[in-house]
């Protein structure tokens, strides 16, 4: 570990294999908490690379018993957090719209870190179980087109990192890799980052991790979601190539709203917002979800254009299929409530 720390302290990058060795050492309890803190700090000060992200993510995913490849064409949509916008649960609500359009969504998330209400908080408030077994997650994906994977539950090997991160109380590489560590094998992904300079780094990491298609977005106003407030900056990963572009909501027929108009609150309030959106009640919340779900459907490849993705998202809500996905996931959770681990 000392050799790798000295390399980082001198501003040199670690290779994928070196990062894997470091991560495995951390998880095996063969190094001290001080060394883990030094590692996380050095990576943050130097700036993490796509290879370092890839190595850490591959180790984390390999340690999860939820690592599965039995379901095809699965995607995830998630932001890194950290934008401090106070918005409602955009990606979580959008996940039901994407699922309602026929795409299996393995939604990976956690409780609140930088927002008032995390994905786990709002789903728990809605009645969705956070503690399904691996078999139940797969069954839910088959039956409901959606399942939720609660990060601390599916990554219980990360405790050595968790304590140090909490003690540090500072941004680390984990603030970037959260959406990448979904243990389910994903074909595609839609990720939001709150810093524009992280767009290409995350996109390159997605390519390293084997995503067939993906979109990374930095929303107007520095959001880690696509925003209706102005120009969004995006990178599309397709066929191993990265393409940068921008998108204004008016280009796909959506209105402009300020980010202040999509504020969220506590889990109960955000649960009510999610239900209202899935019921199709007109609002800035609804149009924001339509934009993000449309981008997700385009990232997956179900839609051949963002405009078509937006139309498919509208239809998913209008037809009641998006709401049905939420209802079925809640019912599924109640069915297995006595069997959780």
- Known binding residues for 5-phospho-alpha-D-ribose 1-diphosphate are 79, 82-83, 87, 89-92, 107-115, 119
First-to-last alpha carbon distance for the chain, in angstroms, is: 35
Instruction: Classify burial at 341, counting beta carbons within 10 Å of its beta carbon; exposed 0-12, middle 13-18, buried 19 or more.
Output: exposed
Alpha-carbon dihedral angle through residues 135, 137, 140, 146, given to the nearest 10 degrees: -160
Tokens of 8: 């980082």
d(CA 37, CA 107): 29
Binding-site residues for Mg(2+) sit at: 91, 224-225
Binding region: 79, 82-83, 87, 89-92, 107-115, 119, 165, 224-225
The annotated binding site for anthranilate is made up of: 79, 110, 165
- Residue 98: is it exposed, middle or buried by C-beta count within 10 angstroms (0-12/13-18/19+)? buried
């Amino acid at each position: 570990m000392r050799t790798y720390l000295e390399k980082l302290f001198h501003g040199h990058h670690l290779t994928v294999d070196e990062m894997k060795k470091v991560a495995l050492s951390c998880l095996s309890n063969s190094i001290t908490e001080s060394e883990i803190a030094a590692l996380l700090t050095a990576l943050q000060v130097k700036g993490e690379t796509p290879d370092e992200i890839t190595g850490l993510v591959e180790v984390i995913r390999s340690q999860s018993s939820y690592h599965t490849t039995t379901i095809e064409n699965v995607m995830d949509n998630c932001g890194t957090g950290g934008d401090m916008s106070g918005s409602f649960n955009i990606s979580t609500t959008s996940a039901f719209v994407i699922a309602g359009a026929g795409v299996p969504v393995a939604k990976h998330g956690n409780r609140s870190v930088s927002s008032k209400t995390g994905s786990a908080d709002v789903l728990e408030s809605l009645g969705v179980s956070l503690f399904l077994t691996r078999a139940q997650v797969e069954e839910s994906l088959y039956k409901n087109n959606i399942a939720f994977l609660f990060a601390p539950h599916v990554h219980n090997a990360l405790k050595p990192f968790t304590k140090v991160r909490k003690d540090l109380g500072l941004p680390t590489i984990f603030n970037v890799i959260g959406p990448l560590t979904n243990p389910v094998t994903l074909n595609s992904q839609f990720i939001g980052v709150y810093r524009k300079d992280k767009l290409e780094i995350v996109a390159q990491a997605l390519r390293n991790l084997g995503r067939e298609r993906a979109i990374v977005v930095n929303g107007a106003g520095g959001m880690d979601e696509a925003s209706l407030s102005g120009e969004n900056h995006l990178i599309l990963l397709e066929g191993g190539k990265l393409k940068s572009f921008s998108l204004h909501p008016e280009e796909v027929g959506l209105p402009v709203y300020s980010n202040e108009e999509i504020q969220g609150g506590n889990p109960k309030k955000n649960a009510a917002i999610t239900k209202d959106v899935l019921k199709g009640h007109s609002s800035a919340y609804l149009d924001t979800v339509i934009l993000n779900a449309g981008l997700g459907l385009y990232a997956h490849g179900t839609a051949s254009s963002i405009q078509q993705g937006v139309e498919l998202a509208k239809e998913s809500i209008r037809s009641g299929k998006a709401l049905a996905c939420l209802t079925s996931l809640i019912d599924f959770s109640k069915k297995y409530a006595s069997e959780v681990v």
